[in-house]
Structure formats: C-alpha cells, structure tokens
Structure 1
Amino acid sequence: MELIDNEIKQLVQRVRVEPPGSIVFYGSSTIRLWETLEQDFSQLHLLNLGFGGSTLAACAWHFERLVVPAQPRAVILYAGDNDLGENRQPEEVYLFFCALAEKMQRYLPGVPVWFISIKPSPARWSIIEHIQKANTLIASEIARLPNAEFLDLSAMMLTGQGQPRTELYQPDGLHLNANGYALWRDQLMQRCDALRTIQVEMA
C-alpha cells in the first residue's frame, strides 16, 4: 500500500507541472509500463497516469486527485484486470466502472472516454469467463453513455483456436511485451484522427 501511495503522490506532482489539455492514459500497470507510449503517439499530447497494482476501484477512488486536475481532452482507460485477479466478481467490477463513469460525467462532462477491454492473459486464463462477463457488462453500460466508447481488443489477442496469444505477453503471462503494445498501438492509431480532432477542437 505504501508503494502505491508514493506512486500516487508522484503522479499528483506530475499533474501539477504538466500543461492541461492532454489525452490521459489512466489505469493499471499495463498503462504504467507502456514505456513507448509518447513515442508511439508522438503527434499527440499525452499524459501517462497509470499506477502499479491499480484496480478499477482504485482508479475511481483517485480520479479526483489525478485525472480531474489534468483537465484532459480525452481519457483512455485500462483497468479491471487486477480486481478480477483479487477474486472480485464481474458484477462488482461493473459497479466500480459505473462509479468512475459517474465521476467522469460529474467532473468532466463532454470529455470522451475510451475503455480498453480487459485482456485475456495467460496468467488469468482460469478466470476468462469472469473477464468476458465483466467486459460484456461494461460494454453495455458504455453503450448508454454519451462520449464513451468500448474498445474491444480481446478477439485479436486470441489465437484462431480461442487461446491467449502468448507472444503478446511478458514471461509472467500477465503484462504486455513490445508485441502486445504494438498491437494496441496499431488499433489505437486507427482512431488517431479522432484524437487529433479532439485536440484541435478543444485547443
């Protein structure tokens, strides 16, 4: 817990010195460990606010401290993985997302939010049914929200036989490697025109 608290304090300090109006990537260590993020999207003003071990519940809890002061022009979110890994039920993860979505609507009305689907990792393949259900519940909620999009990258992270593509992951079978981030980058790049439009319109 102390390590997470220290990490949050460092991110709070970073937000204070960063100019407002970035596209915020927010969430768990899958976001935090995206070391090539700014290089991958060099044409955009990005801010990485991922923190290690983060749950979707923690993302909702720290939202006012981290995301709101950044005054983002868009939020790209990845979380929920660790909640399920801690034996939370899909319905609980859905409620955590709803809490975060409510804060988005309250504090950042009109700001687009994109949720990247919880990945089907080898390390958590034993709970794949929970992962799929959580994704389905969150996607259904996002469909009702204004300025929100569910980015379903799950299918392309599976083999033709429906198994996780191990070449996308680090040896721990949980975190993405360069191949995994390249796949995410390519999918998000297809939406970069929309992100650039957001930055231009809100400049």
Structure 2
Amino acid sequence: MFWYEEDVKRLERERIQLDYQPKTAFYGSSTFTLWKSIYQDFDTFFPVNLGFGGSTLAACAWYFERVFSQYENLESIIVYAGDNDLSNNRHPEEIYLFFFQLFDKIKVKYGAIDCTYVSIKPSPQRWYLNDQVKYTNMIIEREIKKREEANLHFVNIYDYYIGKDQKPNHQYFEQDGLHFNKAGHNVLKDELVKHLSNINSISFKY
C-alpha cells in the first residue's frame, strides 16, 4: 500500500484547511478525488473530500484509521470504490469483504453513523469488466438489505450512465472513458443530495 502514502499524507492535512466542523465525508477513489465542485455541491452537508488517487476498497479499509483520525464528529460517510479493485484482478467477493471490513471499522470508531456505499459505475474503458461490476454491486446491495441496519445504505447509480444501446453513455465521461466529466458528476450529485436529504430529516446545524 506504500504507493498511496503521499495521497494519505495530503488527506491528513485536509482538516486544517476547513473553517468548519465536517459532517459528511466522501471517501474512496478518483470519482471523489477529481470532483472539483464537491465542496460547493454539498455545502449544506458540511463536506470533506477524502478521496485519494486510484484507491481501491482494500486501500480504503487499510488506511481508514489514519485518514479519519482527525474527524471525530462526522454524521455520514459516503464510500465510492471498487472499480480499481476489479481492474487489479480482484474478485467481486474480495471487494465485498473489503467493504464490510471498512464498515466494521467505521462502526468501531463512530457507532451508528450513516454509511453509504455508492454502486460501481459502468465506464467505457472498463466495459470488459461489466459482468463483474454488476455482480459486485449486486452482492453488496443484497448484503446491505439483508443486514437491515438503519444506518447502512446502498445508492445504485449504475443505470443512470447506461445509454439506449445498453452501453455506457459517453456524454458523462472524460475522453479517457474512465472518469466522470461535469455532467457525470452532476448526475451523481443529484442522487447523493437526494439521498443525504432523505437520511437526515433534521438539517445539519451551523
């Protein structure tokens, strides 16, 4: 995991740049790291962006204690990761295990905090992994529903990025066919704002 070290050090400095107490953490891979407007898009939820590099769910679980050491009063954690695990030849079952390992660590530190897993997106560059993407999403969603824990959530974004030809819609992706462009992030923003509003019937206090 040493190749993430510089990114993790950057995240350890992120807290001192904020002039408010963060309430909502976005944790995961470049889907969050490259989201330039994330602080503006979620300002009413007091966000902190803790995405790093091309992180995997395995790395998210590994570095959790370090990355979150300065955040004691969070109310919600949004997780996006898993597609990099698949591209590194991890099996869906391994990704499933890494997510619930991360969730267990979140529970130890924060108790009954809201924790949301965002489904893996279908990207043009990794379309060859589509069957594994769908299976990974399915087994994680199934387990979340099975557990019936009020603070554990699944947000399925997969279908929003599929075109009429049943393939990834290029209008939502950068030219690399992997990362979201502004339109792609706007779709995700709308879904997550709606989700965060639903799980927080009482607005965050300033």
TM-score (norm 2): 0.90
User: What SS does the aligned partner of 1:191 have?
Assistant: helix
User: What SS does the aligned partner of 1:176 have?
Assistant: coil
CA distance in structure 2 between the aligned counterparts of 1:33 and 1:167, rounded to whole angstroms: 17
**Aligned AA (1:49):** L
CA distance in structure 2 between the aligned counterparts of 1:119 and 1:89, rounded to whole angstroms: 16
1:70 positional shift: 1.2
CA distance in structure 2 between the aligned counterparts of 1:165 and 1:80, rounded to whole angstroms: 20
Corresponding residue for 1:31?
Answer: 32
Contact 2:125 2:177 in 1 (8 A): yes
CA distance in structure 2 between the aligned counterparts of 1:200 and 1:40, rounded to whole angstroms: 15
Q: Does 1:87 align with 2:89?
A: yes
Corresponding residue for 2:59?
Answer: 58
Unpaired segments ≥5 residues, structure 2: none
1:43 positional shift: 2.0
CA distance in structure 2 between the aligned counterparts of 1:99 and 1:68, rounded to whole angstroms: 17
Corresponding residue for 1:166?
Answer: 170
1:1-203 aligned at under 5 Å gives the runs 4-15=4-15, 18=18, 19-71=20-72, 72-143=74-145, 144=147, 146=149, 147-194=151-198, 197=201, 200=204
Change (3 A) 1:76 1:21: same
Contact 1:90 1:134 in 2 (8 A): yes
Contact 1:23 1:75 in 2 (8 A): yes
User: What SS does the aligned partner of 2:54 have?
Assistant: coil
**Aligned AA (1:131):** V
Change (3 A) 1:16 1:63: farther
Contact 1:29 1:52 in 2 (8 A): yes
CA distance in structure 2 between the aligned counterparts of 1:84 and 1:198, rounded to whole angstroms: 37
Residue deviations 1:8-36 (CA, integer Å, cap 9, x gap):
01111223564544200000011100000
Contact 2:173 2:181 in 1 (8 A): yes
RMSD: 2.0
User: What SS does the aligned partner of 1:88 have?
Assistant: coil
Contact 1:23 1:46 in 2 (8 A): yes
CA distance in structure 1 between the aligned counterparts of 2:77 and 2:60, rounded to whole angstroms: 12
TM-score (norm 1): 0.91
Unpaired segments ≥5 residues, structure 1: none
* Higher mean C-alpha deviation, range 129-138 or range 38-47: 38-47
**Aligned AA (1:15):** R
CA distance in structure 2 between the aligned counterparts of 1:92 and 1:3, rounded to whole angstroms: 20
Contact 1:74 1:198 in 2 (8 A): no
CA distance in structure 2 between the aligned counterparts of 1:50 and 1:156, rounded to whole angstroms: 22
